[in-house]
Structure formats: structure tokens, C-alpha cells
Structure 1
Amino acid sequence: MTSQQTKSYAKDEHTGKITDEGIERMRARIGVEMPKKPWQTWNEVATLDAIRHFAYGYGDDNPLWIDAEHGAKSRWRNNIAPPSFLYSMGVTEKKEISEEDRKKGGGALAGVHAFWSGDEVEWFRPVYVGDKIWEKRFIQSVEKKQSAFAGVSVVTRDRTMYINNRGEVVCNWDRLFVRAERKTTEGGERKKHEKIERGQYAEEDLKKIEAAYDAEERRGDSPRYWEDVKEGDIVTPVVHGPLLMSDEIAWHQGNGRWEIFPHHVGLKLRRRHPGFYTLNDWGVPEAVMRCHWDDNYARKVGNPFAYDNGIMRSSWMMHLVTNWMGDDGWLWKVKDRIIAFNYYGDTSWVTGKVARKYIAQENGAHVAEIEVSCDDQRGRKTALATATVLLPSKEAGPVLLPQPERGMEGHRIGARPPKLGS
């Protein structure tokens, strides 16, 4: 069979099964660095345009991200990228998986649907305009679990370490995924999901949402000093929604996904990764990630409607925090969990409060912890986060950026900048 005749989609979209062999094959991938092809990286370099498109893609027009004049006057002396921008970046030194690793981990849980369930992130350096970012990505853990939604499932923790072109460790990012059989996800809590109705809005509802948009507060270039913060302080909410397909399009304009490249380029990618594509209702191969815009396909994986990407809501919660902390603060850590689906037509109300403030004994950093909640118009809690923020101090001065642990693998990579390219 010639390459032109190679199958470009999966024969049966429901063939993915969780088996002991599949789990062991997934575990064989633990610690094995995953290479990326050039076409899998959306933004190789952090240009101002790329940063702007990304920020607009989740609804954030903070001038620290998008306005060159504002960035030049900030403490960073340049525009920097919003925290989640790294998700769109990263090239790898490693180009191929070894034949031995490929044999051990090949076909692991193939066709089993993966739901984004959360993040644990630590940032050490900003991404400046002009930066090129390298990454080292691997599976850190694989755990078999019983899920109320999907029955037997497998939770994987994917770790990515980002390094800039100066050899500095920028970020350590863990992503959690729940992997479940597609047929199984039609059971479980599907009856519960079927009770959910599409969001409907009267004029008064829209006025309330627009008023919340108008009331959004951004600290900007006015420093929020640690001494002025009190435990229990309420963070001004941000709203995102009602969620529309055009919002999903805007997100992909900034973040990109190689799985949805069109036409001849798309065919080449389908032939490389046929398991990522199944026939849609018209009999045409389409990416399985169409659960994010195709209601019919979303129902096949156990949901009443198409739903957002987990990283979108993570970005919305970070949006709340970066608004609050201002240009002179530093988002150090985020731990978030996606606990329910956010469907087309839903409005997400993101709220927060200062849960704790303290001075870190190890380095004297002035820290505030923000508890963040994301709730839809029904009152359903769909996501939670704890954000750890470093703030400037009237007594101690500006924020000092945190340092990665000396034992971190990414730090050892960062100590060898010549091997990372330019």
C-alpha cells in the first residue's frame, strides 16, 4: 500500500478500550521524553502579534501583554506573555522516540478519550517578546481509578518543563488527564448530564453580563503592595461568556491545534495519526477534538452539548489573578481542577478572595494565596484553583523572581544553553 493509500482515520471511533496491557504500555512511557514535530508547535517565537492573538483568544486585553508602549514602561521593560501562553509554545531537542521505547509504549490506550482535569504550574521567568521556548515533556505518572462519570478510568500526569533561549528555566507545568472509554462515558453520569438544558438569555440577563464586563478591574501599573492586602479581601470578578462557537474559533486563532489543519496539510497529518480522526455525520474524517464544537459528537462521549477546552478555563482563572496583582506582581503557582463541563451557551463567573498572606521564611518573599472559583449561570461550580502570588512590598521592595529547585531536571537542561539552539 502506498503512502497515498494509507488509511487516514480510525475505523471505529469506539474501539478504544482500557486494558491492563494498555495501562502497562502507558506506564512504559513514564519518563520518556516526547518529541514534537515543527508543525506541532503553534508559536516557536513569542512575537507581540502571537501574544496579542493568544490573549484576545481567551478575552484578555491587558496592555502588559498587547501594548508595546505600556510594556516598555513596565518593570519588565518589555511586553511579557500571559501565563498560559506557554501552552502554545515549545520546540524539542529530541526529534524521534527510540525504537525500543516505541515498541514498549506503542498503542497505549489508543482510542481512549482524554478529558483535561487540571493543572499544577510553577513559573520562574516571564516570556518576553522575542523569546524562543524549548520544552522537555514526558509522562510522570499513570494511575488506574474508578470514576463516577466514566467508570474505570486512567489518570495521567504529563509534565512539561519550559526553557528559554538564554538557558533559563521558565516554567514547570503538570497537566492532568482522565482517560475513559468513549462507550463507557455514555453511561455513568450521562443521565445527570441529560438534565442540563442549553443556556437561554433574556435581555436582562445580557445586561447583567455586560455590566460585569464593564466593572472588570485591572490593577495595571499601580503596584498592589503586600502590606495593603488583607486576608478575606474579595477579588473583583471576571466573566466569560455566554460561550459561543466563535469563542472557540478565537481561541484556536491564538492557541492553534495541528489536528485541525485543513485540506492537503490535514490529509498528511491524518495519515500520520489516523487514530486522532473519525468519520463525522457526513462521512468525512474529522478530529476527535470536535467534541469542542460538534454537539452530536459531544453526545457520543457522554455530554449533552459541545464544551470548552480545559485550558481555556484555566486561562480565565489566571485572568482574574493577573488583573488583581497588577504589572508588578508575579503569578508564581497555580493548582487548578476542572470539575464539570462548560457547554456552549454557558456563562462562567470567575470569583476569588485572598485566603492567606504570609512572608516566606526561606526567601523572604511576600506572598498572597488567592482561592478562585468558576461557576456557571446555573450555579454549578465547574472549576477551582489556588493561585500563589508574589507581591511588591513597601518595606522589602519589588518582587524577586523565584528560583527552580537545583535538583529539577529542567534546571540541568537550562544550565546547558548551547545545546538548546538559538
Structure 2
Amino acid sequence: MNQRAEIVSVTRVILIATERKKARERRKYMDLEPGSYTDEQIAELDAVYAAEKPRGAEPRYFEDVRVGEELPKMAKGPLTLTEIICFHAGGYGLAPYNISASRIGYKNRQKLAKFYIKNAAGIPDVAQRVHWETEWAQSIGNPMPYDYGVMRECWLTHFLTDWIGDDGWLLRQHDEMRKFNYIGDAHVITGEVTAKRVVDGRCEVDIDFRATNQRDQVTAPAQATVLLPSREHGPVPLPEPPAELKQRAVRLMGRHRELKRSRER
């Protein structure tokens, strides 16, 4: 929600956790070959990048979309440590209890001791270093570091927003992280229009899409409904969140403001 207690998005997450000791014992992914590329394969991926173009300010009208239409491909990766760093620098995981160092890191260790696990040198470090430290990733049954699921979710959303343009609206998106995306893996995102309809003046378009790696594995299947402007029905009307969520947002904002005032006093 924004500073006016207006809900701007609603997220529902189903998280399936696995026990690390069991994962290590099963060694399900340990024989996986890391991503490796010839100049020609990098050139093929670069060709997808070169063809990418956000719709931007040019409206994509509902009337111009047809069922079965394929969306332009989008490339992501090959995944590197640099890309993980860029993702953090972009704002993910920078809360003090996630990524921190020196004095702040020390203070966080006092609050969340179990989140810090010693490395081979005996130094307490964050558990989420599975995303950049090979030794720690292998200790829990993976051959190499891997991405954050939400990182691929952002990729999938980017695929949609490039296509719908500035005047479109992402009404809902459902995605599933079905396989790991390891350092060195490259993905191409593809999709197609599966249905379109007008509901209460809203011009809705359904899209099936997915992220596929260099092994031809679909690691993240997804479905979405987007709203597009219409020549007949006009601009996109923004959806209204459920009344009970709006009330909850107002209550939460009230508590936040009260907490802020008490700190200022």
C-alpha cells in the first residue's frame, strides 16, 4: 500500500520448504552439468536481447490482439553473481536482517543468531549465501548457487509489462518456481494469448507464458490476465481491492503512524 493506505497490489504466496539435511542426502541435482556456452550460443541469446523492445507509450489496443498471438521472446541471463548483486542493489534483500556487514551485521547476529551460519573459516554469515557461495550451496544438496524465486517472478512480470505498454495493467499473475535456476543458466521467456473478453467494461486478455532454460526445461510456468485500453471502451479502469483488505490497510497505516509518532516523542 502507498502512504495514503491505498492498496496497489495483493500478493499470495504458497511456500514449500524442504529439510536441508534430507536434500543433501538425496543429491538429486549434484550431477547437473553447469551452464557452458560457445560464442555462437551467446550470439543466439544476444539476438533475442537485440530484438526486445518495450511497448512504452504506444497503446496496445484490445481490438488489435488476437487469440493465439505469440508475445515477443525475452532473454534473461546467463545468470551470474553480478546479476545477483544487481538484484540486491535494485532493492531486494537489503532489509537489515538480510544483508548487512560490520556493526549492523553484528547487531543482527544478536537478534537473529540462527540466521547466521558459520562458513569454513568459522565466520558467521547469512544463510542466504546459497545464492552466491558454491560451498554452502553444495552443503545443502545443490551443485552450485542459484537465484531467488522472486527474481524469476520479476522477470516474468517484465515480460508482460514490456508487451502491454504504459497504458496496460497487470490484473493478476500466477507463477510457479518448479526448478532451480543455477549460476550459469540462461532463460528465454515465451508466451501466447489464450483468451480475451470484456467484463464490466474491462478489456481482459489471458496469457500463458513460461521461462525455459538452456536445457529446454520449463523452470517457471505462469498464467496472467492483463487489462488493455480499448478504442470502443476507452482507457483501462483500475481494479478495486476487496473491501476487507482496504479496511485492513487503513488500520495498518494507522498503527504505523502511531508508532512513528511515539518514536518521535
Report the TM-score when normalising by structure 2: 0.92
Give the Å deviation of 1:405.
Answer: 1.6
Give the Å deviation of 1:269.
Answer: 0.2
Q: 1:45 aligns to what? A: none
Which whole-Å deviations, capped at 9, do the CAs of 1:182-206 have from their partners, x for residues lacking one?
A: 1011134x23x12311111111011
Q: 2:138 aligns to what? A: 299
Q: 2:263 aligns to what? A: none
Contact preservation (8 Å) 1:392, 1:399: yes
Q: 1:379 aligns to what? A: 216
Distance 2:225 2:32 in 1: 34
The yes-or-no answer on 1:167 pairing with 2:37 is no
SS of corresponding position for 1:248: helix
Distance 1:355 1:420 in 2: 42
Distance 1:402 1:264 in 2: 45
Question: Quick one: which amino acid aligns to residue 393 of structure 1?
Answer: S
SS of corresponding position for 2:71: strand
Q: What is the aligned residue count?
A: 254
Out of 79, 93, 111, the residue aligned to residue 243 of structure 1 is 79
Identify if the C-alpha distance between structure 1 residues 209 and 180 changes in structure 2 by more than 3 Å, giving closer, same or farther. same
Which whole-Å deviations, capped at 9, do the CAs of 1:88-133 have from their partners, x for residues lacking one?
A: xxxxxxxxxxxxxxxxxxxxxxxxxxxxxxxxxxxxxxxxxxxxxx
Give the Å deviation of 1:177.
Answer: 1.5
Q: 1:396 aligns to what? A: 233
Out of 13, 17, 21, the residue aligned to residue 179 of structure 1 is 17
Give the Å deviation of 1:420.
Answer: 4.8
Give the Å deviation of 1:303.
Answer: 1.0
Distance 1:420 1:272 in 2: 22
Q: How do 1:146-157 and structure 2 match up within 5 A? A: none
| Relative contact order higher in (CA < 8 Å, ≥ 6 apart) | 2
Distance 2:223 2:46 in 1: 27
SS of corresponding position for 2:89: helix
Q: How do 1:159-238 and structure 2 match up within 5 A? A: 163-188=1-26, 190-191=27-28, 193-238=29-74
Report the TM-score when normalising by structure 1: 0.58
Which whole-Å deviations, capped at 9, do the CAs of 1:283-327 have from their partners, x for residues lacking one?
A: 111111010001111112221110001111000000100000000
Structure 1 residue ranges without an equivalent (≥5): 1-162
Question: Quick one: which amino acid aligns to residue 243 of structure 1?
Answer: L
Distance 1:397 1:323 in 2: 21
Question: Quick one: which amino acid aligns to residue 68 of structure 2?
Answer: G
Q: How do 1:24-63 and structure 2 match up within 5 A? A: none
SS of corresponding position for 1:298: helix
Q: 2:173 aligns to what? A: 334
Out of 185, 189, 204, the residue aligned to residue 367 of structure 1 is 204
Distance 1:238 1:301 in 2: 31
Distance 1:396 1:286 in 2: 55
Give the Å deviation of 1:418.
Answer: 5.3
Distance 2:145 2:72 in 1: 29
CA-atom RMSD in angstroms: 1.5
| Structure with the larger strand share | 1
Identify if the C-alpha distance between structure 1 residues 321 and 198 changes in structure 2 by more than 3 Å, giving closer, same or farther. same
Distance 2:201 2:242 in 1: 16
Give the percent of matched residue pairs that are identical in Structure 1 and Structure 2: 38
SS of corresponding position for 2:109: helix
Distance 1:405 1:301 in 2: 41
Query: Which consecutive segments of 4 or more residues in structure 1 shift more than 6 A?
Result: none
Out of 153, 159, 162, the residue aligned to residue 323 of structure 1 is 162
Q: 1:268 aligns to what? A: 107
Distance 2:177 2:249 in 1: 31
SS of corresponding position for 2:83: helix
